[in-house]
Amino acid sequence: MRAGVIYRKHGSGWSGDRARAGNFIRVTSQALILSVGHVSRRFGQRQALSDVSLSVRAGEMIALIGPSGSGKSTLLRSLSGLSLIDAGEGRIEAFGLAVQAGGKLAREARAARARIGFIFQQFNLVGRLSLFTNVVLGSLGRIGAWRGLLGLWPADVKAAAMTALDRVGIADRAGQRANTLSGGQQQRAAIARALVQQAQVILADEPVASLDPVAARRVMETLKALNRDDGMTVIVTLHQVDHALRYCERVVALKAGVIAYDGPASGLTRVILIDIYGPEFEDVATEGLPA
Ligand SMILES: Nc1ncnc2c1ncn2[C@@H]1O[C@H](COP(=O)(O)OP(=O)(O)O)[C@@H](O)[C@H]1O
Ligand SMILES: [Mg+2]
């Protein structure tokens, strides 16, 4: 189910309720789900994030791009409270709950994090456990660790795990040990675990970077289907710009810790991409892009 959308001209206050072509970003009229305000993060001499502000609405699918070291992972990890931002005015909220502010985790951080599914490049499954067990572990935050340790999964949780495995297309592998499956299947299981967690947002950090092109496409299509059909909000960091353009309506680009672009994928021109990635970018990936 999707609410109506408005189209807002990027970089100005213009807004309207009709679809327009060109430099307009589609913004769902649904609730603000994540908000990043004036966030900075320094590691020693390195400024990983510098006064970054960002708003994400329910139902968006956003690609976070930028060269290696531009701050993508730091931003994503900060959103879920896995990484602390610097002291100061910086603030991150999710679902109206404070995640962190002024360099400290907020008291509600745990409640906010319970609704955020985090997907890692290396899948983070327990290799010796079955796919089913890995996925059902997504419910631990809700049912309590001791029940999980004893394998006392409530029937509805077991059913949810099978539904989730089916949703990502690997229900037939439920009983198989995770480390016997391909990278693409493991990554889809990690997505299923986020569904069992009842995540309302999926933050995926380079989820396809370790996968071959066919497996990568299936993982991206899985994320897109959850976004399109179930209204899942998705932020995905990608080092392949073509994936960003193909699957995401909105692209946020970081360059040296600063947001260099935030707008529709259709507005990402060759000039902007060369500014973000440098002149070598032209050789590898700008074919077919608007000038
Ligand atoms: N734990 C850390 N300790 C020191 N420096 C870090 C740490 N994490 C990230 N950095 C630095 O912060 C910058 C941004 O890193 P990162 O967010 O991982 O970028 P990206 O994900 O875009 O490649 C880089 O210069 C990186 O070296
Ligand atoms: Mg990274």
Mean pLDDT of the chain: 88
**Nearest ligand 1 atom to alpha carbon 206:** 21
Report which residue type is found at 161. A
Q: If you write DSSP's letter for every residue of 60-113 in order, what string do you get?
A: -EEEEE-STTSSHHHHHHHHTTSSPPPSSS-EEEETTEEEEETTEE-TTHHHHH
Give distance in angstroms: CA of 74 to centre of ligand 1: 6
Q: Which ligand is nearest to the CA of 74?
A: 1
- Which atom of ligand 1 is closest in space to residue 257's alpha carbon? 14
**Bridge partners of 261?**
253
Check whether 48 has a pLDDT greater than 80.
yes
pLDDT at 144 over 90: no
* Residue of 36, 42, 46 to test ligand 1 pocket, by largest number of atoms within 8 Å of CB: 46
User: Which carries the bigger pLDDT value, residue 8 or residue 183?
Assistant: 183
Residue 150 has pLDDT above 80, yes or no: no
What angle in degrees, to the nearest 10, is found between the helix axes of 183-196 and 213-230?
Answer: 20
Higher pLDDT, 148 or 107: 107
- Is 126 in contact with 190 (CB distance < 8 Å)? no
* Token pair of 258 as six digits: 């600063």
Domains of the chain: 1-112+249-291 (3.40.50)
pLDDT at 10: 42
* Res. 286: pLDDT tops 90: no
How confident is the model at residue 289, as a pLDDT?
Answer: 61
pLDDT over 50 (residue 90): yes
> Atom of ligand 1 at shortest distance to CA of 205?
21
Share of the chain above pLDDT 70, in %: 84
Whether the pLDDT of residue 18 is over 70: the answer is: no
pLDDT of res. 11? 39
Q: What is the mean pLDDT of residues 21-46?
A: 79
Atom 18, ligand 1: which residue's CA is nearest? 73
Which residue's structure tokens are 């909000």?
Answer: 233
Give the ligand at the shortest distance from the Cα of 205: 2
Going by C-alpha positions, the residue among 181, 169, 177 that lies closest to residue 134 is 177
Q: How far is the CA of 182 from the centre of ligand 1 (A)?
A: 28
Is a pLDDT exceeding 70 seen at residue 21?
no
pTM comes to: 0.87
pLDDT value, residue 171: 97
Comparison of pLDDT for 7 and 182, the residue scoring more: 182
The protein residue with its alpha carbon nearest to ligand 1, atom 2, reads: 43
Q: What pLDDT, on the 0 to 100 scale, is given for residue 253?
A: 97
Q: Inform me whether the pLDDT recorded for 40 exceeds 70.
A: yes
Residues 183-238: pLDDT tens digits? 999 999 999 999 999 999 999 999 999 999 999 999 999 999 999 999 999 999 99
Q: How far apart are CA 169 and CA 167, in angstroms?
A: 5
In this prediction, residue 290 carries a pLDDT of: 62
At 245, which helix (H) or strand (E)? Answer: helix 241-247
Ligand 1, atom 27, lies closest to the CA of 69
Widest CA span of the chain, in angstroms? 59
**Which residues have CB under 6 Å of ligand 1?**
43, 46, 48, 66, 68-74
Q: How far is the CA of 195 from the centre of ligand 1 (A)?
A: 28
Query: Hey, whose CA ends up nearest to atom 1 of ligand 1?
Result: 43
Ligand 1 geometric centre to CA of 71 (Å):
6
The predicted model gives 249-270 an average pLDDT of: 96
